[in-house]
Amino acid sequence: MIIKGKVVVYTRVSSDQQNLEMQLEAAKPFTKDFHPDEVIYLNDHPIGV
């Protein structure tokens, strides 16, 4: 999702089989053309995981 020259990466870990680091790694191809200041990371950590 691109908003005014920024990109937002939303990650959510909802089970033991999911991994935040793997999701962030998978997002790299989509963020590689953006300056780090243009990338916003939203990490969702539900209670109970």
Could you read off the pLDDT of 5-34 as tens digits, one per residue? 889 999 998 877 788 889 999 999 999 989
- Domain locations along the chain: 2-44
Query: What residues contact residue 18 under an 8 Å CB cut-off, 6+ apart?
Result: 12
User: What pLDDT score was predicted for residue 29?
Assistant: 95
Query: What residues contact residue 15 under an 8 Å CB cut-off, 6+ apart?
Result: 49
Measured in whole angstroms, the distance separating CA 11 from the mean position of its chain's CA atoms is 4
Q: How is residue 5 written in tokens?
A: 């020259």
- pLDDT interval class at 42 (50, 70, 90): very high
